Structure 1
Amino acid sequence: MLEARDVRVVYEGGFTALAGASVTLAAGRVTGLIGPNGAGKSTLFGVLAGAVRAAGGEVRLAGEAVTRHGPVWRARRGLARTFQLSRELASLSVLENVLVAKPAMSGERLLSLVFARGAVRREEDAAHEKARALLQRVDLWKLADVPAGSLSGGQKKLLEICRALMLDPRIVLMDEPSAGVNPTRIGEIVEFVKALREEGTTFGLVEHNMGMVRALCDHVYVLAEGRVLTEGSFDHVIADTQVASAYLGAQA
């Protein structure tokens, strides 16, 4: 579904963040990227999403080369992303945060407001119904009118996933969804992602919480120093002595 082939990223000053990394996110599965801090995981996500330009290599989405296209183009073709730090619009309500994520609404065009009011209204009603259904699934509908900035860390992460789902994505890239979230909410996020996977959504996951990785990931890549160190099932990669060395080396 989504591939990075031999991707290289070199930042100003000559720092190499990715040194020929290759990963494949298979359709209908959750693929994890793990590794010590500075391994290049979030940079690789940025390349996959189109937010970071690679110095070399290729990105393919559903078999199509998309390396030259940016994040908006990729989002329109079914690639959504959430971030380690939640990016809610704090002063808007929870419901409004979800509704603003709906792309290309007819009501945003003046001519539609003048000449196609009925169609605009039906489209807005459908968007509202979709947002309501998503918020109900994560138990946030009861907070629909509350300012999003007042939510807990876990609730903000669930809200961000709902916003991503308003795009009707085929693939969702999630960057550390457990960061700043209490264990109860982590369990809710895990169950929500599992349900979405069963419905056919593909996920990429960057995560330090190994319990979440074990619970969710069908396949795991371990990155270290901008390269893929090993890959396989969670139990396989965790048992690899190279993985232990990479983590311990980063902590030394």
Structure 2
Amino acid sequence: MKTKILLIEDDENISELVKYNLTRAEFSVITAADGEEGLLLATEESPDLILLDWMLPNLSGLEICRRLRRNNSTAHTPILMLTARADEPDRIRGLETGADDYITKPFSPKELVARIQAVLRRVRPALAAEQLRFKDIILDNVSHQVTRAEKPVHLGPTEYRLLRHFMENPGRVFSREQLLDSVWGYDVYVEPRTVDVHIRRLRKAINGDTLPDYIRTVRSAGYALDTTNAI
């Protein structure tokens, strides 16, 4: 499952350059050309990181950053600002508004990729971890093996990706549509109810007949991995 990045940038040439280099670095990239579209995609697509231009049509990058930080679903999403504003007061404003890092134009594509990876390691260490752990569940990103209570768990490819996504974001509630985009891919059409089928398979595989169920169904919202009401 590739790390998903939302690029909010109105300059078409820069947008294409960034998308090309991030795709080569094996990121999944979604683009928006103005602030309003960017805000919508940030909520709908649940990106792992947002690249945000400062000067945008309709809404400035600073205002977008403020709104993202006030929204519960995006409050903790890493934000890296791209801007031609190189003065120290501007950098400080961007960071104080909620950006996790700041890179000025023009920039090296290699540096941008390195900055993104550094932010992800710092803010979302699970994305770079060789092993993910949640209670007695261990998922090994290298061997693609899963154990629970020290016993192997056999998962299909989709169930494995679902579990990994939940373990990278423990406690966060995802709608069926968000899971489809993150696990299946936003360019693949699958019926939302398909998610329910794979959730049932995942539960059966990791819970067996006796272990507590850590996958919580949130009525009218979706699913989350946590210990609330685990039985």
- Compute the TM-score of the two structures, normalised by the length of structure 2: 0.33
Report 1 or 2 for greater relative contact order, CA contacts < 8 Å, sequence distance ≥ 6.
1
- Compute the TM-score of the two structures, normalised by the length of structure 1: 0.31
